[in-house]
A and B are shown apart, each in its own frame.
Chain A
Amino acid sequence: MAFGPYLLLATLEGLVSAAVLALTALGLSLVFGVMRVVNVAHGEFFMLGAVLAWAVSTAFAGHPSIGFTAALLVAPLVVAGAALLSERLVLRRLNYDPEATIVATIGILYIIQQLALTFYGADARPVQAPFNVRIQLPWFGYSGYKLFVIVAAIALMLATWFLLTRTKIGLIMRATQYDRETAQAFGIPVDRVYAGVFAFGAMLAAIAAVLVVPTQQAHYLMGRDPLLLSFIVVIIGGLGSLRGTLIAALLIGLSDGIISVFFSPTLAKMLATGLVAMVLVFRPQGLFGATAR
């Protein structure tokens, strides 16, 4: 192939990973922004979403779209339930202390990972895409499903943005984020807001996973890369900033797609991680974050 088609393909692949990454990172960013909790188990919620998508979609016979739709409905809800449970049982008892919650979420990470290995197994298993359409581009045909993933991710992010900025729920969330004590003094049930945000964040990761799993395969270790990349996105975008997260996801997703087409993926990850660590060292408010609060 010549350079042009190659670049177009890399860009499309990059857009798909950017879309999925943006959703996943949005969940992490919300949890960090509102609760000041770094959820190390976020990648495992992603993995759990993908594994559940496999379990649900194989339970349905007939056209793959039935199973997929069921998975898209069931998996995120189950994951949100699991997140809610861990929030109530563990994080709340720690009073959301930033350092203690990191240790605790590492524990949750290991538990989910081991449970997935025990009950799901070490194999990577495919999930069928709900439809199989090829869209003809100038040089090659491209999977219609992947384009659907991009559109769906955009729609979901718009919905989240609407929820955060135009509804009462969003107002309550932002108030809690801005000042926990004052919010509580004004009668906002901070405790329930935290539970809701944590579940919602995990749900976003699970939705992203269900969307992406037909293009990959479900595997019990698949949560590692999304976790690392989401961290990178959230840091670059500025901790807790929604717009920054989106821009950074686009940047990282695209460059990850393009770099790993042209260079060794290990080297790409190495450079990206090192650079991001440097960003955190020298510009802790992120590249797009305005001021550190």
Chain B
Amino acid sequence: MTGNLTSGPRIWLLHLAVIALLLAANFLLPEYHRGVFSRVLVLATFAMGYNVLFGYTGLLSLGHAMFFAAGLYGAGLPLFHLGWGVPLSFASGIVAGGVLAGAVGVLALRTAGVAFMIVTMMFAQVFFLATLYFTTWTRGEEGLVLQPHMRQVDIAGVTLSLTDPSTRYLIALTLFSSVLLITLRLARAPLGRTLVAIRENEERVRMLGYDVYRSKLAAVMLSGLFCASAGAAYGLLFGYVGSGFASIQYSILPLLWVLLGGAATTLGPLIGTLFMFYVIDYTSSITSAYLLLVGVALILLILFFPKGLLGTVREKWLPWLP
């Protein structure tokens, strides 16, 4: 498409501006909101991982909590029990997510549509039950609290503590920005184009000679890796690893965030996550019935607003948005 040639610099500028804005937020936001933003950035990374599969490839998974939790436990367990350092734990979390995503992808991609949703949900349920069953190591729903002294990194003689709000924010932002730029690159690369084509018409892509299965598997793996990196970062930054993060609810939330922000948009997951986080934060100060809100939001979105915020903006005003 020729449109992309002219809009290329504009797109990169937009994304770099968003990152710069988020960087400035570290110094401008009040303490409470900086903490919220750190969480949102990590969770938005989770949502971006979900978006690779749901938005671009058109595969609706109901089990992404397992990838997030694989990263969470993959990082948290060695840190807690084996005393591995923070960088090594983070890497092991990502590897755990990648391995799981590979295995789940190979199996689940034999199915399609509704069966794919149910299979992913069931695998995630098995993972959740496993976190409860191996309670000796995971402490089940009570979870593990990673003490501040475990969450320190020594780099060239400087000790970075992950409990420091500014360090935490900057690490979360680094993770978010990397995944954002990778997603942007992906969306404009041949693989991303193939994934979108698969979403639109799988048979035709196959007929044109593409290996559909391999592209889909690549999407599942990438998605799993992103989600696992978010999970690992979440555990290390906020010091808590519990089975609640593996429950079905954490498979639904990224779906909600992506739907809200706009599926198959690079910045949609961030907007969706930020918006929903503040809505829940605000309503939970008034009422404990925030699940009601999640339910109503899901129904209203799917009924009246299936393209989400950025999706609608793209459709109406800014067709060049990636």
The answer on A and B forming one complex is yes
Spell out A's residues near B (CB within 8 Å). 38, 90, 93-94, 98-100, 102-104, 106-111, 113-115, 117-118, 228, 231, 235, 264, 266-267, 269-270, 273-274, 276-278, 280-282, 284
Q: How far is the CB of B283 from the nearest CB of chain A, in Å?
A: 12
3 tightest Cβ-Cβ pairs between the two chains A and B: A110-B295, A107-B298, A111-B295
Alpha-carbon separation in the docked complex, A37 to B233 (Å): 37
14 examples of A-B residue contacts, CB within 8 angstroms: A100-B302, A104-B303, A107-B296, A110-B291, A110-B295, A114-B289, A118-B289, A231-B118, A274-B126, A277-B119, A278-B107, A280-B119, A281-B107, A281-B119
CB of B256 to closest CB in A, whole Å = 9
Q: Is the CB of B133 within 8 A of A270?
A: yes
A277→B62 contact, CB < 8 A: no
**Smallest CB–CB gap between A102 and chain B, Å?**
6
Q: A281 touching B114 by the CB < 8 A rule?
A: no
- Contact between A38 and B117 (Cβ–Cβ < 8 Å)? yes
Note all chain B residues with C-beta closer than 8 A to A98. Answer: 113-114
Q: State A109–B295 Cα separation when bound (angstroms).
A: 7
- Complex Cα distance, B129 from A273, in Å, reads 10
Q: Answer whether A90 and B133 are a contact pair too, CB < 8 Å, given A110-B291, A274-B122.
A: no
Asked if residues B295 and A107 are in contact (CB atoms below 8 Å), the reply is: yes
Q: 0/1 per residue, B96-117, Cβ < 8 Å to A?
A: 0000000000011011011101
Contacts A38-B118, A270-B129, A280-B122; A100 near B306 (Cβ below 8 A): yes
B60 contacts across to A, CB distance below 8 A: 99, 102-103
Complex formed: what's the CA distance from A37 to B211 in Å?
30
- Contacting residue for A281 out of B111, B125, B291, CB 8 A: B111
**A99 and B117 contacting across the interface, CB-CB below 8 Å:** yes
At the interface, yes or no: B197 with Cβ under 8 Å from chain A?
A: no
Residue B252 lies at the interface, judged by CB distance under 8 Å to chain A: yes
Query: What's the nearest-Cβ distance from chain A to residue B289, in Å?
Result: 5
Map CB proximity to A onto B264-295 as digits: 1 under 8 Å, 0 otherwise: 00000000000000000000000001011011
Q: How many B residues have CB within 8 A of the partner chain?
A: 35
B296 with A111: CB separation less than 8 A:
yes
Q: Nearest CB to that of A274 among chain B residues?
A: B126
CB distance from B216 to the nearest CB of A (A): 15
With A102-B117, A235-B118 known to touch, is A110 a contact of B125 (CB < 8 Å)? no
Residue of A nearest to B255 (CB): A103
B298 near A264: Cβ-Cβ < 8 Å: no
Contact between A266 and B118 (Cβ–Cβ < 8 Å)?
no
Within 8 Å by CB of A106, from B122, B123, B126, B252, lies B252
Which A residues lie within 8 Å of B108 (CB)? 281
Residue of A nearest to B295 (CB): A110
Contact across chains for B292 and A270 when beta carbons are under 8 A apart: no
Q: How far is the CB of A95 from chain B (nearest CB, A)?
A: 11
A-side contacts of B126, CB under 8 Å: 270, 273-274, 277
Q: Looking at the complex, which one of A90, A113, A267 makes contact with B299 (CB distance below 8 Å)?
A: A90
Given contacts A103-B259, A281-B110, A284-B111, contact A94 B302 (CB under 8 A): yes
- Among B291, B296, B302, point to the contact of A113 (Cβ < 8 A): B291
Contact partner of A280 among B118, B125, B291, CB < 8 A?
A: B118
For residue B88, CB closer than 8 A to chain A, the reply is: no
How far apart sit A109 and B299, CA to CA, in the bound complex (Å)?
A: 11
CA A38 to CA B60, docked complex, whole Å:
14
Contact of A228 among B125, B289, B297, B303 (CB under 8 A): B125
| Residue of B118, B130, B252, B289 touching A270 (CB-CB under 8 A) | B130
Provided the pairs A102-B114, A103-B302 are in contact, do residues A110 and B133 lie with their beta carbons within 8 angstroms?
A: no
Question: How far, in whole Å, are A38 and B306 apart by their CA atoms in the complex?
Answer: 19
Given the complex of chains A and B, what is the CA–CA distance between A277 and B61 in angstroms? 14
**B132 within 8 A of partner (CB):** yes
Q: Chain A nearest CB: distance from B56 CB in Å?
A: 15
Q: How far is the CA of A110 from the CA of B107 in the complex (A)?
A: 29
B231-264 contacts to A, CB under 8 A, are: 252, 255, 259
CB distance from B121 to the nearest CB of A (A): 8
* B252 CB contacts on chain A under 8 angstroms: 106
Closest chain B CB from A277 CB (angstroms):
4
A104 touches B298 (CB 8 A): yes
- Chain A residues with CB below 8 A from B115, complex form: 280, 284
Closest B residue by C-beta to A266? B133
Cα(A104)–Cα(B298), bound, Å: 6
What is the CA–CA distance of A118 and B298 in the complex, to the nearest angstrom? 20
Query: Does the CB pair B122–A269 fall under 8 Å?
Result: no
Closest CB of chain B to A169's CB: distance in Å?
26
Most chain-A CB neighbours within 10 Å: which of B62, B123, B295, B303? B295
* Interchain CB contact under 8 A, A108 and B299: yes
Shortest Cβ gap from B151 to chain A (Å): 30
Which residues on the B side are within 8 Å of A281 (C-beta)?
107-108, 110-111, 119
Task: Please report the C-alpha to C-alpha distance between residue A273 and residue B132 in the assembled complex, in whole angstroms.
Answer: 14
